[in-house]
């Protein structure tokens, strides 16, 4: 049984911070806590609209992450300039539409060859490993190979959203895609929409070496952490009252 790496995406810690414009909660502190708990790496998505992760986060994380540091970005100059300055271990190129709530589909690696080739080549020339976030589709996998990507990340969102026979089909497609990519020499990651409930079947796909999981971990952390946070607040209130 080979090791399956867990990269925790801490974007939504930053979502909470940006909602108030405070200094907390800090995705950097969250990243350290994740690594302390056994995460193999940290992932952040620097979106063009900077809705959660900021450039400061991307820079500071480079200084503190001990495992693999994976920066997700769109295939444009905005992300490229930051990536080349910061030099994370991996860059995952993702499609991005400003109005979307989250990354909705995979990259069209087959249809956007020229635009992607420029960014992939610039990153690889700088010694950064490049991953393309794509659907488990033969044409996309083959395009990732021909673009010279080191890795693909299979989009698990459709699998995560599907039910019944649809889910089984989506899982089978992930399995086939992962095997095809591995056999073509690519390292295979997967992610998006994974939860404690639906990760089990994806973790069973042998060709997948890494999972990137964010929203569900941060959401679960809010729930499991609330009791302790309430006790801490109560303790501070009791101390205040005792001083009167």
Please tell me whether residue 140 binds ligand PXP under the rule CB under 6 A.
no
Shorter beta-carbon distance to ligand PXP: residue 71 or 227 = 71
* Active site annotation includes 3: no
Please tell me whether residue 150 binds ligand PXP under the rule CB under 6 A.
no
- Among the options 52, 90, 155, 192, which is catalytic? 192
- Residue 171 tokens read as 């899982």
Q: Please confirm whether the linkage preceding 25 is cis (ω < 30° from 0).
A: yes
The stretch near ligand PXP (CB under 6 A) out of 15-23, 56-64, 144-152, 213-221 is 213-221
User: What one-character-per-residue DSSP string does 105-170 give?
Assistant: S---TTTTHHHHHHHHHHHHHTT-EEEEEE-S-HHHHHHHHHHT-SEEEEE-HHHHH--HHHHHHH
Please tell me whether residue 96 binds ligand PXP under the rule CB under 6 A.
no
Find all residues with CB under 8 Å of 65, minimum gap 6, and list them. Answer: 31, 35, 41, 42
Please tell me whether residue 93 binds ligand PXP under the rule CB under 6 A.
no
Could you tell me the CA-to-CA distances from 202 to 9, 56, 188, 210 in Å, in that order? 17, 33, 12, 10
Task: Please return the burial class of 43, using the count of CB atoms within 10 Å of its CB with bins 0-12, 13-18 and 19+.
Answer: buried
Pick one of 109, 144, 188, 213: the residue that binds ligand PXP (CB under 6 A).
213
Please tell me whether residue 90 binds ligand PXP under the rule CB under 6 A.
no
* Active site annotation includes 52: no
Give the footprint of ligand PXP on residues 104-133 (CB under 6 A): 133
Nearest Cα to 95, choosing from 47, 151, 137?
47
Please tell me whether residue 58 binds ligand PXP under the rule CB under 6 A.
no
* Active site annotation includes 12: no
Shorter beta-carbon distance to ligand PXP: residue 105 or 184 = 105
The stretch near ligand PXP (CB under 6 A) out of 22-30, 113-121, 122-130, 207-215 is 207-215
Pick one of 31, 34, 52, 72: the residue that binds ligand PXP (CB under 6 A).
72
Determine contact, residues 107/116, Cβ cutoff 8 Å.
yes
Please tell me whether residue 191 binds ligand PXP under the rule CB under 6 A.
yes
Nearest-approach distance from CB 143 to ligand PXP, in angstroms = 17
Could you tell me the CA-to-CA distances from 42 to 27, 70, 112, 144, 241 in Å, in that order? 10, 6, 28, 23, 41
Pick one of 193, 205, 207, 208: the residue that binds ligand PXP (CB under 6 A).
193
Nearest-approach distance from CB 214 to ligand PXP, in angstroms = 3
User: Beta partners for 134?
Assistant: 154
Nearest-approach distance from CB 90 to ligand PXP, in angstroms = 11
């Amino acid at each position: 049984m080979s090791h399956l790496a867990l990269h925790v995406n801490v974007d939504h810690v930053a979502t909470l911070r940006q909602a108030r414009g405070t200094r907390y909660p800090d995705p950097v502190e969250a990243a350290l806590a994740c690594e302390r708990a056994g995460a193999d790496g940290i992932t952040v998505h620097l979106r063009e609209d900077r809705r959660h992760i900021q450039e400061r986060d991307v820079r500071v994380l480079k200084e503190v992450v001990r495992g693999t540091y994976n920066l997700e970005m769109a295939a444009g100059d905005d992300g490229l300039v930051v990536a080349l300055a910061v030099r994370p271990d991996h860059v995952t190129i993702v499609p991005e539409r400003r109005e979307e709530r989250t990354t909705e589909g995979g990259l069209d690696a087959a249809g956007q060859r020229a635009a992607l080739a420029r960014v992939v080549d610039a990153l690889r020339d700088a010694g950064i490993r490049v991953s393309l976030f794509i659907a488990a589709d033969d044409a996309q996998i083959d395009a990732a190979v021909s673009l010279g990507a080191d890795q693909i990340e299979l989009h698990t969102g459709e699998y995560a959203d599907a039910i019944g026979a649809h889910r089984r089909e989506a899982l089978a497609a992930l399995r086939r895609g992962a095997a095809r990519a591995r056999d073509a020499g690519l390292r295979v990651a997967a992610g998006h929409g994974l939860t404690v409930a639906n990760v089990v079947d994806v973790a069973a796909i042998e060709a997948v070496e890494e999972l990137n999981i964010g929203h569900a971990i941060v959401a679960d952390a809010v729930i499991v952490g609330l009791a302790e946070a309430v006790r801490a607040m109560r303790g501070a209130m009791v101390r205040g009252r005792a001083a009167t």
